[in-house]
Amino acid sequence: MPCIRQIIAGVVIAGALALASAYTAMADELASWNDGPARKNIVDFVTAVTSQGGPDYVEPAARVAVFDNDGTLWGEQPIYVQLAFVLDRVKALAPEHPEWKDTEPFKSVLVGDIAGVAASGEEGLTQLLGATHAGMNSDDFTKIATDWIATAKHPKTGKPYTSMVYQPMLELIDYLKAHDFKVFIVSGGGIEFMRPWTERIYGIPPENVVGSSIKAKYDVNDGKPAIVRLPQIDFIDDGPGKPVGIYDHIGRRPIAAFGNSDGDFQMLEWTTSGAGRTLGLIVHHDDAEREYAYDRKSPFGRLDRGLSEGPKRGWTIVSMKDDWNEIYPQ
């Protein structure tokens, strides 16, 4: 009998400890988010859709959350990281292409004339993508992207790009995963440019990454099979392309969407017009001191329509300055 009593006491103590630690964990999970409406909206939403028996309950299988990448999970200023990769690759490959010195858009890249690159338009961009992202097999491209991301540095901070991810968003991903959400990246960036590092940096595996892509073909040479990357754009996962990319890759409508620019507008619109409770959230870059301040007029990550219409649509606008007490992982 004393034995039973001791066991019961032990179970009660263990239970109390577990409960206390669950509360602490919940508080810690979003530690970089200041108390305020943004944090509250997130916690209220997650609590509502995970409360079994509640009116807003969503079963785990349908808890799909989608995150934009550039400007939402990591920085996109002064230029998109992938554009920095393109510029670096053109410079690295230039010795094999003496003709580039006199041919646009390569000429502008080599003399560092970003305006000239921009002036080459979509055709120029396709040429740059073809020269830097295609013509090799999938394993070789993965190695090129992996090697570059391991050594490239941000022009302002001198830090690796993968250390300039947003700590509050990392916490948000973990918080959602801890509540049985399936978390996906849905980015305008190249799908194969992101996949080599998203699992390590964000805890999001390659199969949960949706992005823009070029065409590829299967080829067997001397009995050795390979996926060969072709210089032809296959899919642009931006703006109205994002709901289409979600339909193709995920096959169901998300209940939560996180973005920062007008390229995410349709993804948030599609998500928040679904049945049941949903969450749409936009990160507003208004922190010139700790990061960057930009919105309606920025060439990268322009946020205009979302800033005007978002609040009317019930979307949460996150002020980087006021809502986040940390920007980067320490």
Rounded CA separation 256/280 (Å): 6
Residue 206, both tokens: 């390659």
| Choice from 29, 76, 192, 323 touching its own copies (CB under 8 A) | 192
Query: Is position 70 an interface residue for its own copies (rule: CB under 8 A)?
Result: no
- Which residues 132-161 are close enough to bind its own copies by CB under 8 A? 138
220 binds its own copies (CB under 8 A): yes
Stretch (H or E) spanning 25: helix 2-29
Identify which of residues 229 and 284 has a Cβ nearer to its own copies in the complex. Answer: 229
Give min distance, CB of 117 to its own copies, in A: 28
| Candidates 23-31, 113-121, 239-247, 277-285; binding stretch for its own copies (CB under 8 A) | 239-247
Options 115, 151, 217, 289; binder of its own copies; rule CB under 8 A: 217
Q: How far is the CB of 132 from its own copies (least distance, A)?
A: 18
Helices (H), 230-304: 241-249, 265-272
C-beta separation of 288 from 254 below 8 A: no
- Total residues in contact with its own copies, by rule CB under 8 A: 41
List 63, 133, 195, 284, residue binding its own copies (CB under 8 A): 195
Q: How far apart are CA 293 and CA 288, in angstroms?
A: 5
Cα angle value 25/255/169 (rounded, 5°): 45
How many angstroms separate the CA atoms of 301 and 284, rounded?
10
Between vectors from CA 263 to CA 216 and to CA 266, what angle results, nearest 5°?
100
Name beta bridge partners: 160: 153
Q: Does 186 bind its own copies (CB under 8 A)?
A: no
Q: 79: exposed, middle or buried (C-beta count within 10 Å: 0-12, 13-18, 19+)?
A: middle
Closest among 234, 214, 235, 198 to 67, alpha carbons compared: 198
Q: How far is the CB of 256 from its own copies (least distance, A)?
A: 15
Q: Are 211 and 237 in contact (CB under 8 A)?
A: yes
In the complex, what is the shortest distance from the CB of residue 240 to its own copies, in angstroms, rounded to a whole number?
4
User: What is the closest distance, in whole angstroms, from the C-beta atom of residue 157 to its own copies in the complex?
Assistant: 29
Q: Are 313 and 269 in contact (CB under 8 A)?
A: yes
Among 236, 250, 293, 307, binds its own copies (CB under 8 A): 250
In angstroms, the CA 182 to CA 250 distance is 10
Among 153, 159, 207, 299, binds its own copies (CB under 8 A): 207
- Could you tell me the smallest distance in angstroms from the CB atom of residue 314 to its own copies? 14
* Peptide bond preceding 78 in cis form (omega within 30 of 0): yes
Per-residue x/- track, 75-104, its own copies (CB under 8 A): ------------------------------
Part in contact with its own copies (CB under 8 A); list of ranges 21-29, 102-110, 159-167, 214-222:
214-222
Instruction: Report which DSSP code applies to 187.
Output: E
Q: In terms of CB distance, is 28 or 207 closer to its own copies?
A: 207
User: Which spans of this chain sit near its own copies (rule: CB under 8 A)?
Assistant: 2-3, 6-7, 61, 64, 138, 182, 184, 191-192, 195, 199, 205-209, 213, 216-218, 220, 224-225, 227, 240-244, 247-252, 266, 269-270, 273
